Structure 1
Amino acid sequence: MKNVIVTAVFLSLSVISPFVFASSCKDPVVLVHGNTSTPASWDNTYNLLLSQGYTSADIYRPDWGSKYCASCNNHNGSEETPVRQAINNAIANSCSGQIDIIGHSMGATLAAQQISKLAAASYVDTFVGIAGAFRGLYSCGIYPFNVWSSTCGYYGLSIQSPFLDGLFGDPLGDKVYSIKSNSDQVVCATGVCTVYGVHSSSIWNEDASFTYSLGHFGLQTDTAQEQINLIQ
């Protein structure tokens, strides 16, 4: 009788344990802030993730770029390193073999670039680009007749910059979403949000795009629940 009970307990554990392990395994999340911003800009998303079962070890918030010179930052060199390291570390520590990445503004294009450079799209379950300028900014001009700054130059966000043209079409993950606004102070600074008829924050081959009546920064701070819904 004792052996029967032990066997029954063992069998019940063998059935239950996969579900226990599955529920405790969370894809690491990489949150990439925008130009001159800080990891703290993700506090709403970070705290909501913690409330929904993630631990601080599951969340990566790379800190990149100058905080004082927006026109100095681009997608080349020292700006790349923290984001690349965060993505590599998240993949290395993933219990599922996949990660989720959410980027805001220039952090969205910087994260997309690192996925491409690392050939890491197969490791990304969900990529969410928030208020990104994936098709460039009219406020930066059209390359090579762009505004003379790093942010708008060869490795920057001028329309048809070599950086953006080289990135266009690259796979970014199993699922790709964009979050955008038609009242974005940065992406729509000239009064026009579209580039050649497509909203600049829309991403090629995306699964869906969501538009909110929020400004450039509100798209990051005020859509935390929507962000987490997308990566579940």
Structure 2
Amino acid sequence: MALFFAFGVGPAFAVCNISDTKLEEAVLKSPELRKPENRYLVRDLRTLRNAAFVLWTYGLHDDCERVLANIRQLIAAPSMAKLGGNDEDLADEQLAAGEPQQHEGGGVQGSRNAPDARPLINLDDLGPGLRVDEIVGSEVRSSDDKIVGEVRNVVIGTKDRWDYAVVAAGGFFIAGKDSIVVPLRYLQINQERTSFYLRISSADVKAVPLMPDQECLWLADEAWRAKNDAIFQKLIPDPVRYGTPAAPQVKTDAK
């Protein structure tokens, strides 16, 4: 899978540097942004960031920078934000059920059973490959087309070649809150590139352990990673055409 950053090319990058907002870093580090009552703000900040990227791609660099300035202002003072929904009780019910009212892939019920549904694509078969902004923030669904959550982060380049997507699950789409860690090789994507799909069912997702920390310390915890990855290996063995790298090894103390 080809993976590259889309923000570092051309002189316009210096005019409207989207990465300078450090939004995901702020979400991870700010206790205030991680409060449940600010989940709407976090969602809206990510929407604004996506809008800034669209403006940048169309050459509207001044407009892009104005949006980024608003993002920085809201990050610095989250109390300035006001909820914009008219039916917050219904939104809370949807979030608590893990079924958002709106997401990039479309309806809550999914469309994999539609007569015109096209086959899913293995990530290794994509051409061209995915940009980072096409992964982070995308919805993730189970093999039976139930909403699981959305991609909050991507971990690339572990020494044993196991790359991961951190998927915020459980309804509250805030990084580190009820997140699971999914090996990228166990994901597929629809041809519209709007939704990722696990190769396991919604029932099997319940067996996947929650991410134990927000600082990615679990990357060095080989025992935890081996347990996590084994769940996917057991359910869907060897999904990769070009060979499976060695599984993380559990260290044992010498006797």
Give the TM interval when normalised to the shorter protein.
Answer: under 0.3
Determine which structure has greater relative contact order: mean sequence separation of CA pairs < 8 Å that are 6+ residues apart, divided by chain length.
1
The TM-score normalised by the length of structure 1 is 0.24
Q: Between Structure 1 and Structure 2, which shows a larger proportion of strand residues?
A: 1
User: Highest CA radius of gyration, 1 or 2?
Assistant: 1
